[in-house]
Every structure is written in structure tokens, then in C-alpha cells.
Chains A and B, each alone.
Chain A
């Protein structure tokens, strides 16, 4: 998660408790609180929280469907 914007298109991200200084030149729109994806010291993309929820919900449905299938069998 991006925790601090710095000069020269750099920012500090917190990766599970480890703070890292990264370049955000490739995602200039990134703001504090955004989840950025970091590769070789550069943020290359951002996570869309709504889409993440949707994907997780998809796994959840599947889990239910599997449980239902199991119960029916």
C-alpha cells in the first residue's frame, strides 16, 4: 500500500510491514492509500479494490456451488 508520496515521482510503499522507496513514474496517478503493484523498484500498476472483491466473490460462489454439489451427491 502506498503510504507516502515523495518528490521526483517517488513514493513509500508498505509491503506487509516493510517500507520501500519506489518510483511511481509509471503510475503517476497513484495516491496515498492506493494498492500498487511493484516490480523491480517501480510501481507498474494499481489494484482496483472493486474488481478484487468481485474476483473473491467469484471464488466464494464457487466454494458454495462445490459444497452444494457435494451435498447433493
Chain B
């Protein structure tokens, strides 16, 4: 496919790898965090890690939308389906996220909850139109990429006067999460993984542009290179980060200039700010409460806000004690540091959220990396 295959060429990838080897200073360690789950997936799937010099380490960040969705929020959606008789529509990935009482949306569905997988927010509107006698709730999750479609759905519901449609809004924001990781006391407590720079997200940046990272690069002195989704994009971005570190620079650079500019998609941003406002605080699975890191529906659209409509309160629920997702999302531990990785916790039976989506650090590692670790451990 055009604009995809050229960015997956293995020979070119190896050459960028050689270049990295030449330019990375053997006397130092480089640790870069790829924020976005799409990049985590690309790095594992295409073996990008194997092409990197040993002193360049990639840390998986919290940019996998289902991985950061806290148990308490999934519980709210389950409650709507099982106790309030609502039809709950949601993206496929959300279905298997483990919730309280050994439930998940999939299991709640088996217990009779009317839970439907949708491909897009628009499909949830269709379900609402087709079931005028029922409450239909769209369980909306994700970063800046999925927020504009949710905003469009709410605006459309308002235009059409769809009285039975509402949204359980769990949309979160990328820049505040990155800041939180850099400032988090846990990172200090765990003895800080020094993060030397960030591979900036692809899709998110199409929407928000490269501008929002500027303040952050400057204030924390960490370079950010926005990268496309393909393996060559990621390799090139890593090379650009190595160069910045070598030169002592901390700028925002854009490897994904074919789709990202400084301003992003202004039309989409306008729709989002019309419908949503900042939440003072929101719980992220693995990161805890993060101030101003999520969105809620503006009072003007209160009738489409499932939290108001059903008077739902949020009850935080602690994660399984063995689960190390929190430390993994902050880059201070690796999936293999978790005692139940690959034994009790597997993609078929995920205990923690990092195992649910193929973009999650644990699932990606399980699928593509786990056998490679074994010889490394034996020789160590």
C-alpha cells in the first residue's frame, strides 16, 4: 500500500540501524520513551529493538488507551448495562479490560448485559436511532484521536434531538500524562529511569499538532521527536533523538511531517472544545490521579453526559497486587519483572490492563518478545 510499504523496507531499516550504531556514543546510555501504544506495537512487531545498538533502550509509555483505563470506569459501564438496563456501545479493545468482581464487559455481556461492540462513535448513534425506547450509552475512551469523533457524535445527537443517547466520557490527554511521568514521585522512588527523550505520538499529533510539546521540551529539557507509525519512522525518530542528545539540544522535531504540522487539525480541536472541558483530575490506571489530564462533557450538553444522566459516581478500585503495570507504564520496570507475566497473566486471561490490547507493553512483549528474552537471561 502506498505510504506504508516504503516505510517498512527492511534494508533501509538496517541502514538506519547502522547509522545509529555509528552515531550513538558507546560511552553513554540512551533511554527513550515511546509514548504511544501504536509505536510500542510497531517496535515489537517489526523487531525495531533488535536493530538498535545495545546502549539505546526503548521504554514503553502509557499511550495505550485501554491500558490506562481504570477499573472503576469499566465498572461504571458494566453497572449501566447490568443494573440500569442501558445498551452500552464500546470499541472492541475495551471489551476485555478486567474490571471488579472478576468481570469485564465481555463477561457482563454473557450475564445478559446488552453490550455492543462498535467500530465508531457514529455506529453508537445508529444503535440509539434504532432503539428509541432504550437508553444507549457510548462508553468513550481514548486519547486526542478518538475525542473528535465523540464530539461529533454528541453534536449530531443534539442536532437530531436524540433523547436516548449519552456518552460515558473517559477521554484523556497526552501532554499532561507525559508531564506527570516526568514529575511523578514514583519515578523518583523507584530510583528514576532517566528518560532522555520521547518519541511523540503519530495519530495524536495529527490532531493536536507539534505545538503542545514545545513548552514541555523546553521546561523539562527533554527532546521530543514526533514519529509516524511505520518501523522506519520510529527508527529515524530514534536517530534524531540520539543526535539531539549528542548535541545537547531539547527541541520538538517532526519526523511525521507528511501528516503533522505545528497546529494540528484545528477544525477537530474546535469541535472538541465546543463539547468538552477539562476535568480537574482523573484516575489513570497505573498512574493514579493525574490533574487536568482528561475531559468531561460541558454542562451545555448535560443531557448527553451519562455520568449526570444516571447520577453515576466514581469509585476507585485497586489493581491486582501482583500487577506491575504502574511501574511499567512509567518505564521503571519491564513486563518480565512481573511475577505473573506469561503464567497467570496472559492475553487470553489478562489480569492487568497492559495485557489486554496488542498495544499494551505486556501483550506486545508476550506476543513478540518473550522468547527472545530467554537466551539473554541465560547468558547473563
Select from chain B the residue with minimum beta-carbon distance to A41: B120
CA distance A41 to B106 in the complex (A): 22
Residue of A nearest to B22 (CB): A69
Min Cβ gap B142→A in Å is: 8
Write the chain B residue with the least CB distance to A62.
B19
Query: B268 near A: Cβ within 8 Å?
Result: yes
Q: Is A65 an interface residue (CB 8 A)?
A: yes
Chain B 1-22 interface 0/1 with A at a Cβ cutoff of 8 Å (1 = within)? 1111011010110011011001
Q: Which of B117-175 contact A (CB under 8 A)?
A: 119-123, 142, 145-146, 148-149, 152
Query: In the complex, which of the residues A25, A54, A58, A69 has the most CB atoms of chain B within 10 Å of its own CB atom?
Result: A25
Q: Are A52 and B258 in touch, CB under 8 angstroms?
A: yes
A40–B265 touching, CB < 8 Å? no
A39 and B236 within 8 A (CB): no
B19: contacting residue among A28, A54, A55, A66, CB under 8 A? A66
Are A37 and B203 within 8 A (Cβ)?
A: yes
Residues in A neighbouring B122, C-beta threshold 8 A? 23, 41-42
Across the interface, do B206 and A42 meet the contact criterion of CB distance under 8 Å? no
A51 CA / B233 CA spacing, docked (Å): 13
From residue 20 to 34 of chain B, which have CB atoms closer than 8 A to chain A?
22
Which residues of chain B are near A37, meaning CB under 8 Å?
203, 206, 259
Q: Is the interface of B mostly helix, strand, loop or mixed?
A: helix
With beta carbons under 8 angstroms apart, the residue of B16, B142, B258 that contacts A51 is: B258
Q: With a CB–CB cut-off of 8 A, which chain B residues contact A48? A: 257-259
- Tell me what chain A mostly uses at the interface: helix, strand, loop, or mixed: mixed
Given A23-B149, A26-B268, A62-B19, A44 contacting B203 (CB threshold 8 A): yes
Distance of A44 Cα from B145 Cα, bound (Å): 8
Interface residues of B in 33-74 (CB under 8 A from A): none
By a CB distance below 8 angstroms, the chain A residues around B203 are 37, 39, 44
Asked if A32 is an interface residue, CB under 8 A from chain B, the answer is no
* B146 A45 Cβ-Cβ under 8 A: no
Q: How many residues of B contact A (CB 8 A)?
A: 44
Give the number of residue pairs across the A-B interface with Cβ within 8 Å: 112
> Which residue on B lies nearest to A60, using beta carbons?
B12
Complex contacts, B375 vs chain A, CB 8 Å: none
Chain A residues closer than 8 Å to B271, beta-carbon distance: 26
Chain B residues near A60 (CB, 8 Å)?
12
**Chain A residues numbered 37-73 whose CB sits less than 8 Å from any CB in chain B:** 37, 39-42, 44-49, 51-52, 54-56, 58-60, 62-63, 65-67, 69-70
The answer, yes or no, to whether B112 is at the interface (CB within 8 Å) is no
- Say yes or no: is A1 at the interface (Cβ < 8 Å to chain B): yes
Q: Is the CB of B145 within 8 A of A59?
A: no
Chain B nearest CB, measured from A13 CB (Å) = 11
Given the interface pairs A23-B149, A42-B120, the reply to whether A55 lies near B2 with Cβ below 8 Å is no
Instruction: Report which of A1, A59, A70 forms a contact with B16, defined as CB distance below 8 A.
Output: A59
A19 to chain B, nearest CB (A): 13
B207 part of interface (Cβ distance < 8 Å): yes
Whole-angstrom distance between the alpha carbons of A65 and B19 in the complex?
A: 8
Contact assessment for B152 and A23 in the assembled complex, using a CB-CB cutoff below 8 Å:
yes
Within 8 A of B (CB), among A19-40: 23, 25-28, 35, 37, 39-40
Q: Are A62 and B91 in contact (CB under 8 A)?
A: no
Establish whether residues A26 and B3, one from each chain, have CB atoms under 8 Å apart when the complex forms. Answer: no
26 interchain pairs (CB within 8 A)? A23-B152, A26-B152, A35-B2, A37-B206, A39-B146, A40-B120, A41-B119, A41-B120, A41-B121, A41-B122, A41-B123, A44-B207, A45-B206, A48-B258, A49-B258, A55-B228, A55-B255, A55-B256, A56-B6, A56-B7, A60-B12, A62-B16, A62-B236, A63-B15, A69-B18, A69-B22
User: In the bound complex, do residue B207 and residue A45 qualify as a contact, i.e. CB atoms below 8 Å apart?
Assistant: yes
Which B residues touch A59, using CB under 8 A?
Answer: 9, 12, 15-16, 232, 236
Nearest-neighbor residue (CB-CB) of B235 within chain A: A59
With a cutoff of 8 Å between Cβ atoms, the chain A residues found around residue B267 in the complex are: 26-28
